[in-house]
Every structure is written in C-alpha cells, then in structure tokens.
Structure 1
Amino acid sequence: MTAVVHGNAAGLTGVRVTEVPSPRPGPGEVVVALRAAGLNHRDLFLVGARGPGDAPVVLGSDGAGVVVAAGPGAAVEPGTEVVVNPSLDWDEPGGVPEVPAILGVPTDGTFAEYVVVPAKNVAPKPAHLGWSEAAALPLAALTAYRALFTRGGLRAGDHVLLPGIGSGVATFALAMAKAAGATVSVTSRSPEKCRRARELGADRAVGSGEDWRTALAEPVDLVVDSVGSATFGQCLSVLRPGGRLVSLGATTGAEVSLSLREMFFRQISVLGTSMGSAREFSQMLALVAEHEIRPVVHRTYSLDDGPRALADLAAGDQFGKLVLTVD
C-alpha cells in the first residue's frame, strides 16, 4: 500500500511517499481503509525529534474510513464507516496516563491507504460530515472537548478566550463553546484570521498586539491557551477572580514567569490538559452530531502530496485543518 513514511533523515527531509506492506488485524483489531487523514502539529514534532537511526514509520494520528477486515473478537462489522480515535489505552477521563499513548509513532499511523487499530478505537462517522471533515476531528476535537468541558468546566453564559485562533484545536473550541452557550473572544496577529473567526461566530476578535483587558471590555471566565509563553501573562491578566486557565500547548515556548500572589489572591486556577479518554471521544462525537458542528478544513491534499502538506503545516498560515485524501 502507499504511505507517507518518515525515516533515513532527520526532520521534514526524511518524509517520503513509498510502498509498505498492508496491515493485517490481530485479535480485537480492525483494518480501516482510509478515505482521509488529518494533519496535526504532533506530526511535525515527531519528525523533528526522530533521527537517521530510527526505523521507518508511517506518520499520522487522525483518520476516517471504512472497516474492511476484523480480527478475532473484534465487534465491528466490515463495511462500517468510522472515525479513528487516536488516543490509545485511555478509557475514562479520570484515569490520566503518565504519558498519553497516541496512534502514529512509534506505531504505524494513518497517512496510508490502510491502518490497523484496536476495534474499541473506532466509532461511527457522524452522518452529517464528509470524509475530509471527519478525518479532521479526532486529535484536535478531542483535545478541545476535554480542555473546555472536563478541565475547564465550561458553563452556558461563560466568557471564553481563545488566544491564537486558527489552529485546529482553537477552531474546534470556538464551535464547541458557542454550541454550549458561551460568549467567545479570540486573538490573532492576523486580521484575516480575526475576520474568519467572526464569520464562524466569535463575539470579539482582538489583535495580539492590543491591550486585551481594554479590548475585551469584560473579564474572562475561561482561557484555553495553546500559545504558551508569548501570551501567558496577558491570559492571566484578563481572567476574573476565580477564573480558569487551561494550558494545552506551548508553540511560542514552555517557560513562563508569573506572580504567585496574583494567582492566590485572585484565586486563579491553572490547569493542564492533553488529548482525552475514550469516554470523552464519544461525548465529543455526540456534541458534534447534536449541533452538526463542521470542522474547518483549510485545504486538502492527495496522499502523494503528504510531504508538501507537512511543509505547509510547518509554515503555519492555515486557518483550520489540513487533510490528506485517499483514493
């Protein structure tokens, strides 16, 4: 089968499209013929961390397709249209693993014609979504769901701030928070991304260089931040007393400076999150189906264009998700 593989060289120069053996299902596993696969910044992190001595591996965590084979004990019928849950061996929200296990490196992932996964890691594709939209869901939508609801305790009427709008997680968080009845503000360096966010329902869009406290006009109940050090201070400053900040990424750096007095006098909660459990994946899909949430797909590429898609992801100009389509 055709696959996007990393090996033989470090970074993006080690990404190539090649032929690899098709997978076979073991006990409790299914083979999914993929129709589309979503890209994530995790893919870039992994290729950057791997070296020339690492064994070749099929990249990709997100995917959607049709089950074509089932191993012994797998209770999923061939022919079922599914979306793949890339969060492995994490069943309940409270059972947080030391390090989340995610499909794709060190196991073969979804940038291929076929992938083998545990049967419990596939779920019926939401009927209102096309293949590219369904493939854009898994990792980013699961992360956004847990950040907003499990960790952030989002309630109807809350004021939510999403710094750095444009990423897959942030665009999902915008749609989910609006569906839950929240007021949503976003920030971006890009006026075009601010404009797109307003079109998708954001109540306010603020430039990254502005004074957020003045521009937002009212205190924030919940911040969901993936930017990191560049925005951390401003995120804390706009929270109301008793507000919550959920951190799920550090694209501008992981080291921050903060005043502990400001935190404890104002009783701010700072919470970390990453990925999510199988139960949260089911809850996320139910929310997507109930409100007919549609992922924002910035661009699609053929599987043969996988290396170019990863390079475009690294450039960071997209608004929403990049997706590979599989014939």
Structure 2
Amino acid sequence: MKAITITQESEPIQLTDMDKPEVSSDECLVKISAAALNRRDQWIREGMYPGIQFGTVLGSDGCGVVEVGPAEWKGKEVIINPNVNWGNNPEVQSSDYSVLGMPTNGTLAEYIKVPVHSLQKKPSHLSNEEAAALPLAGLTAFRAAIKKGGAKPGKRVLVTGAGGGVSQFAIAFAIASGAEVYVTSGSVEKIEKVKKMGVKAGFNYKEEKWFKEAGQYDAIIDSAGGNQLNNYLKIVKPAGRIVMYGSTTGHPEKVDVFRLFWSQAQIMGSTMGNDDEFVEMIECVNKYQIKPTVDQVYELEDYLNAFDRFKAPDHFGKIVVRF
C-alpha cells in the first residue's frame, strides 16, 4: 500500500510502499477514502514534535470503509477516533496517551488498522472529504467549547484565531449550543467568512487596543497563548473561563495575576477529549448538520503541495488528501 511516512531524507515526508496491516480479532482494517492534515503533522515534518519515530505513517484524521472486521461493521463508511489509550479517567488522558500518526501508524495511508471501539459511522450529510476533516479538530473543539467552556444559551463566547480548523469547529459547536459567538482574527476577510456561520462580530487582534471594543465574555476559547492572555483577562466576565488548547504564540511574558484572582476567573487547559466525548461530538454534528470547512483537497500523489498549503497564512479550514 501507499503511505506518507516521516523519514530522515532531506524532505522528511515521503510517499512510500508498505505492507498492508494485518488485523487481530478486535481490530478492523479500514480502506481510507480521505485523510486531513493537522498542525502536528507539519510540526513533525519540521522536526519540532517530541518523540519522532522515523518510518511512522502520519495522519490523525481519516474517513474510509471497513474492509475487514466484525460483520456489523464490514462495508460500512466510518470515521476514526484518533485517541490511543485515553484511559479510565474522563477528566484527563492517561500517561501513555497518544493520537494516531505518532507513534501509532496514522491515517495518511491507503489502509489502517484500528480497534473496533475507535469506529463511528460517517455522518450521512458529510462527503468523505468533510468527514475526514472532523475527528481530531472536532473533538478538541467540542471539549474546549462545550465541556470546558460551557457554551449554552445566554452565554457570550469569544473564539480566537478564527481561521484555524479547531477554531472553526469551536465556533460551529458554540453556535449550535445557542451561545452568542464572537471571534478574533488577524484577517478581516476571515472574520467576514465566519460571520456567514452565524458569528455576531469579530475583532482584529493585530490592532493594539482591539479588546476595548470587544465587550465581556463568559468564555474565551484560545489556542494562541502568548501575551494576549492579559487581554483576555480584561474581557472575561467575573467568574468566567479562559480555555486554552494550544500555545502557537508561545508563553506570555507576564500574567496579570491580580486581575486573575480578583475577577474569580478560571484559566483551564484542554486537549483532545475522551472517547465518550467523541461519540457526543458526532451526535452533535448529526443533530445540527454541522459541516467542516475544507480549504482544499489534494490527490495522494500531490501530498507535498498539501503540506505546503497548510503553511500558507491565507488557508482557511482543513487541508484534505484524497485516496
């Protein structure tokens, strides 16, 4: 089979030939129809991800058809839960937790073997490419916006970095919950695009005093970190929540601790979500007919351009590789 693996070549990601996986009785063999890229795939490509294991198939998101497995799954269109060993505590992942695509072979291959419990039926309103864009980003956003952020009717929610895949899912889930949703972005064009999803307004974080126009929020869902944290503390409501699922701009130089404790605010960490939340996320997608935003779709042989597109600052939504 063809697979995109991480190597020690001058171009670290290569399309290689591998043996088709052999499955045990509690596993399924899924023929991949489409797989989506995530930021971690690009970090692995750049050598910026811990514990890189050369020869591993990349990719955490996938949609396909079960070729080998129990009778009730055989021939079914599925999406794959990327969690590996979440563990028994629903609040936090286990010490040996990982996601597909490192160190376990991932979805950027013609075939993948996964445990039966990792399968969910593909939402019927989604194309293969849309379904492939859902798992990792959708689960991360669902936990951050709904479970940690508490988005629901009567709440004001600010989602930062509106161009990102997780951010767009957070926007969609928060709107579906009945919350009033606002965004930040460094692009006016991206703000206008998410307004079409139902976002009330957006603010350009490149403007120094953007937070003065933003009002106050019950929850702020953020992946950037960095020095914007103190601006979030200025606009989070008393006893509000700042949910952080990433740190793309690094650590803040300082934190306004006085404002933090005086406001009774909570800064909450969030990453991925447990297996039950994956099921809940799919149910939410089905109930509200949520569709991922797909930026571009590439054929497998064009995988390098797919990765390069991911790096482009104007990309909006998920990058998908079709098999």
Q: If the length of structure 2 is used for normalisation, what is the TM-score?
A: 0.94
Cα deviation for residue 237 of structure 1 reads 1.3
Query: Residue 227 of structure 1 is aligned with which of 224, 234, 237?
Result: 224
- How do 1:212-251 residues align onto structure 2 when only pairs under 5 Å count? 212-216=210-214, 218-251=215-248
Cα deviation for residue 303 of structure 1 reads 1.1
Cα deviation for residue 87 of structure 1 reads 0.9
Q: d(CA) in 2 for partners of 1:256 and 1:28?
A: 49
Counterpart check, 1:153 vs 2:156: no
Cα deviation for residue 54 of structure 1 reads 4.3
Runs of 4+ in 1 over 4 A off after TM superposition: none
Please give the per-residue CA displacement for 1:168-226, whole angstroms capped at 9, x wherever unaligned.
1000011111111111111111111111111121100111133233322x311100000
* Aligned twin of 2:3: 3
Where relative contact order (Cα < 8 A, 6+ residues apart) is larger, the structure is 1
Structure 1 portions without partners, runs of 5+: none
Q: d(CA) in 1 for partners of 2:60 and 2:169?
A: 17
CA RMSD of aligned residues (A): 1.8
Number of residue equivalences: 319
* Aligned twin of 1:62: 61
Pair 132,230 (structure 1): closer, same or farther in 2 beyond 3 Å: farther
Which shifted more, 109-118 or 42-51? 42-51
User: What amino acid is the match of 1:83?
Assistant: I
- How do 1:120-139 residues align onto structure 2 when only pairs under 5 Å count? 120-139=117-136
Q: d(CA) in 2 for partners of 1:250 and 1:295?
A: 23
Pair 36,230 (structure 1): closer, same or farther in 2 beyond 3 Å: farther
Query: Residue 34 of structure 2 is aligned with which of 36, 48, 67?
Result: 36
Cα deviation for residue 127 of structure 1 reads 0.9
Contact 1:4/1:307 (8 A) holds in 2? no
User: What amino acid is the match of 2:40?
Assistant: R
Q: d(CA) in 1 for partners of 2:228 and 2:71?
A: 46
Cα deviation for residue 56 of structure 1 reads 1.2
Cα deviation for residue 19 of structure 1 reads 1.3
Pair 242,103 (structure 1): closer, same or farther in 2 beyond 3 Å: same
Contact 2:164/2:317 (8 A) holds in 1? yes
Contact 2:162/2:184 (8 A) holds in 1? yes
- Identity in percent: 37
SS of 1:149 mapped into structure 2: helix
Q: d(CA) in 1 for partners of 2:210 and 2:238?
A: 16
* Aligned twin of 2:73: 77
Query: Residue 22 of structure 1 is aligned with which of 16, 20, 23?
Result: 20
Cα deviation for residue 307 of structure 1 reads 1.9
Q: d(CA) in 2 for partners of 1:99 and 1:311?
A: 31
SS of 2:104 mapped into structure 1: coil
Please give the per-residue CA displacement for 1:77-97, whole angstroms capped at 9, x wherever unaligned.
210110000011226632532
Contact 2:53/2:103 (8 A) holds in 1? no
Contact 1:232/1:256 (8 A) holds in 2? no
Q: d(CA) in 2 for partners of 1:255 and 1:98?
A: 27
* Aligned twin of 1:142: 139
- How do 1:1-327 residues align onto structure 2 when only pairs under 5 Å count? 1-9=1-9, 13-47=11-45, 48-49=47-48, 54-70=53-69, 74=70, 76-90=72-86, 93-98=90-95, 100-210=97-207, 211-216=209-214, 218-326=215-323
